[in-house]
Structure 1
Amino acid sequence: MDVKRVELWKERNATVLSNESIRTVIEDHGGMVLELSNLNAAGGRVNAHPLYWFHGKGPSISEEANAPFWANSGLLYHLGGNFLCFPNFGGDAEVDGVQHPAHGWSANSRWNVVKYGSDAETGANWLLSSLTSPNSNYPFEAWKLDLVVPSHPVLYTSFLVKNTGDKPLPANAAWHNTVGSPFLESGCVINMSATSFITPIEESEFRDTGRLAFDKEFDDLAKAPLRKDGTCDLSEVPGMIGYSDFVAGRIPDSAKLGWSSVINPRQKMVYLTFFTGPAVAEEDEIPFYFNNMWMQYGGRPFTPWALYEGGADHTFCLGVENSISYYANGLKEAVDNETLLGAPTTVLLPPNEMRIQRYATAFTSFES
């Protein structure tokens, strides 16, 4: 078991947390969880998260000579396998005169490392980080506690946020869990707590990349409606099929636990997220009502996913993202559309009050 600070690249630092099995690497910038790894049955260490082939290694996009390749997006430049999206989940959005970057300040800012260490009593290795709003018209203070404990193949995270202003603030919140090769491969099986689903509206980033019908509800992942006649099975990963799609899934109000999983039956490994369900969420908690799937299966023939405009999409990954949001369409659309599948799309942060979101991501091997 260990906790340590490392310099990944020049002016790019991270914290490594580990126990006897699991290891995680959390970069300061964006709180990007670049690695969540464990041992497979053969004793090899497998990272469940994708290290995107286009992942930038410089200090920042502003200092990158090839910034247009990333569409001048700092988020894409630093993109990691999992990260917190707050208070925006989706593309750039302007709400009440405040400009929110794609996936929020939590994903685009450098988190301040407050403390890190090991707990003598429990054996937990932990990292405490903080973030202050960069916009005085949307004032908040946030803290994030990441920890691993002995014998648990799990990264536990608590996110606390305080509205430091004098009026309520609407917010999205999401965890952008994404798995990639070598863990992700065709034949992986997807399960989740959601029991009803909906495809994106036509006016979304998936209009020109997807195969799914627009704005259609369905209740079986194995029978998702296509734009052409028929259905497809979203519960099994098909491999690189030339499409990138999205689906939002509604977690039942009766659920005490929200969760999603990706199982690799060949490697006998499972990636699992879990969090407080709607039925037992306390008043001071940020509830999650949605399991979302971002199926990045080769539908983006443009940079940085491809080498050049019109080139082959080289990025194969699967997002199993959990949220309170309107699809992943950003805070403005969530404010304008108060519900989706009967659930709220925003959380309202009362002035001078604290809210918390507790979350866990596990990765481990299993025996058949």
Structure 2
Amino acid sequence: MIPAVVPCTDRALWDEQVDRFQGHPQQLWGWGETKAQHGWSVDRVLLDDGGTTIGCAQLLIRRLPFPFRALVYIPRGPVCSIEHTGAVLNSLADYAVSRHRGVALSIEPDWDRDSAYAGAVAEAGFRETSNTVLIPRTLILDLTRTDDELMAEMSKSTRANIRKAIRSEIEFRKIKNESELDQVLGIYHETAERAGFGIHEDQYYRDIFRNLGDSSPIIGAFDGEQLLAFTWLARSGSTAFELYGGVSAEGNKRRVNYGVKWAALQAMREDGCVRYDFNGLLNDGISDFKKQFAKHEDMLLGTWEKPLSPFYPAYSQAMPLARKGLQAARRTAKALAGRARTLLRAARGR
């Protein structure tokens, strides 16, 4: 039997289903709400098989120029058990065509590359692509392990820095309000400028903080009222997923970024999560820092697309070029913004 695709408009029911299937926090209602405020449309659907829900998927829809019409994208989804994967994917592909006229259905599931899911995805007509949004190479920690077991996987210097932070007068706790969020964003701008990566406008982060609420905790390292470092997460019932992190120059000097990472692991375990995903590993300094917390790496399934239109071949060639152009524009905008901040600081110093 082909499962029926049933739209869901009830936030409580939706999040309940995501957690029931041990889904990823980027499938939660609040994450979709934020994306809907920043260029995407959102469609949340349940897969019904004879009155039983066998899966769910939060679809993000991006309108494209004619003749491509739309891209339908599922971040860290869909959510279903292995035995229903093929039926769920086929129903979602049909729905993406009939409801959204998509040129392709793109998925980046929270499934291991070497799991049985990989074969089911290929059998459903999907093909792997390099048009990646979420990095599949990552580090996932098992939070059911003890503190000693987790620390045994870390480098000696990492353990030492964590213990030093714990013994210090630094307070590690969750961010409480918008005023403290302002400090978070200030440190994030500082970190991005120092490390050379691009960021969104502040309103995007404020929308995440508001829309996800308790499902998007920020763990901060405080010296009195001054924030020195933070780790910002999204969490579902089972999985904690790092979104952003930052450390001030003073916090970096005192190495409190090690302590705040450890505090985040502890907090997510206390919240009931059993997996902690560091959200991507690249060949950069930030990834080198992440890799100090374990001796292993994890590889998720990656990005897979199912062609839904005769125009898909043209789309698959145009998409990488468009993305390179967008990245170049972002780099230019970032450089201009950095120069503007430098000039503003200089003007204030006069």
Q: Same fold (TM over 0.5)?
A: no
Please identify which structure carries the higher helix content.
Answer: 2
Normalised by the length of structure 1, the TM-score is 0.30
Kindly indicate whether structure 1 or structure 2 has the higher relative contact order, using CA contacts under 8 Å at least 6 residues apart: 2
* Higher Rg: 2
When you count strand as a share of all residues, which structure comes out higher? 1
Q: TM (normalized to structure 2)?
A: 0.31
